[in-house]
Amino acid sequence: MTIRVVIVDDDPLLRAGLKLMLGGAPDIRVVAEADDGAGVQALIDRESPDVVLMDIRMPGIDGLTATESVRSRPGAPEIVILTTFDADDHVLRALRAGAAGFVLKDTPPAEIVESVRRVANGQPVLSPAVTKRLISRVASSGQDLRKNRAATRLAELNDRERDIAVAVGEGKSNAEISATLYLSIPTVKTHVSRILTKLDLNNRVQIALLVHDAGLLDDSR
């Protein structure tokens, strides 16, 4: 299967570089590109991409607004945020909107190609360690309101699902959760899928952010 990609960035040199490196992969095809977020939805409607590489800071409609708009629609493609920062609060907003992760613009070409493949296969582009570091730097503004909302949503889970959600928030892999909670890995995967469905979330990153907002993580670890 060919992975169809749209690139959205206001830097023409970066777009050309990304197009060149992705075009060298036999299973990836760049089907369109744009220099701001204004025309992204039209490109998606026309090209039906699997993945969108989205810059944050662009003139006109920025990448955050475009991500929120795209991900609010059914059948939306996965979005990977392009950024120069590895712990940018803007990235957090994009992840909350349903972006599948982020890659730094100076990431080696082979890793960017692999990130596109992973996202197309439903895997967020954030290692557990990066996820934990990122959510630990969530801005404090509106913390109480987020905590109440997150706690209300997590109350929909049963005890086992809640334990697994917390483990995801701690950055544990499925294998680590399996060992900690004495469950098989397929059972852990099933529980994670149910959590995503119950809470209407897109990926594990959003589970981790919700658990963090609810104050269920031990920050001393």
Residue 131, domain member (yes or no):
no
79, 70 Cβ separation under 8 angstroms = yes
Residue 104 has phi, psi (to 5 degrees) of -75, 145
Residue 105, domain member (yes or no):
yes
Residue 201 has phi, psi (to 5 degrees) of -110, 165
Same structural domain for residues 72 and 11?
yes
Q: Would you state the pLDDT for residue 74? A: 83
Q: Would you state the pLDDT for residue 88? A: 58
CATH classification at residue 166: 1.10.10.10
* Tokens 């699902």 belong to residue: 161
Cα 17 to Cα 53: distance, rounded to the nearest angstrom = 13
Q: Would you state the pLDDT for residue 62? A: 86
Task: Report the chain's C-alpha Rg in angstroms.
Answer: 18
Residue 132, domain member (yes or no):
no
Same structural domain for residues 45 and 147?
no
Last residue of a domain, one of 125, 151, 177: 125
**Long-range pairs for 134-142 at CB < 8 Å and ≥24 separation?**
134/86, 134/87, 134/91, 134/92, 134/95, 135/92, 135/169, 135/208, 135/209, 135/212, 136/212, 136/219, 137/87, 137/89, 138/89, 138/92, 138/209, 138/212, 138/213, 139/89, 139/92
Q: Would you state the pLDDT for residue 139? A: 46
Same structural domain for residues 84 and 184?
no
Same structural domain for residues 119 and 151?
no
Q: Is the pTM of this model over 0.85?
A: no
Residue 18, domain member (yes or no):
yes
The domain tally of the chain equals 2
Domain assignment of residue 44, given as a range = 3-125
Residue 25, domain member (yes or no):
yes
Same structural domain for residues 72 and 180?
no
Last residue of a domain, one of 125, 157, 189: 125
Picking from 33, 41, 39, the residue whose alpha carbon sits closest to that of residue 17 is 33
Same structural domain for residues 9 and 117?
yes
Same structural domain for residues 81 and 157?
no
Summarised one tens digit per residue, pLDDT across range 86-128 is 555 677 777 878 888 888 888 888 888 999 998 998 887 875 5
Q: Would you state the pLDDT for residue 137? A: 57
Looking at every residue in the chain, the average pLDDT score rounds to 85
Last residue of a domain, one of 55, 90, 125: 125
Residue 183, domain member (yes or no):
yes
pLDDT at residue 221 tops 50: no
Same structural domain for residues 64 and 116?
yes
Residue 130, domain member (yes or no):
no
Q: Would you state the pLDDT for residue 132? A: 57
Summarised one tens digit per residue, pLDDT across range 28-51 is 999 999 998 888 999 999 999 999
Q: Would you state the pLDDT for residue 86? A: 59
Summarised one tens digit per residue, pLDDT across range 162-200 is 999 999 998 899 999 999 999 999 999 999 999 999 998
Same structural domain for residues 121 and 73?
yes
Same structural domain for residues 7 and 95?
yes
pLDDT at residue 219 tops 60: no
Same structural domain for residues 16 and 100?
yes
Residue 138, domain member (yes or no):
no
CATH classification at residue 23: 3.40.50.2300
* Cross-strand partners of 125: 101
Mean per-residue pLDDT, 75-85: 86
Same structural domain for residues 109 and 164?
no
pLDDT at residue 138 tops 60: no
Query: Which amino acid is residue 152, in one-letter code?
Result: T
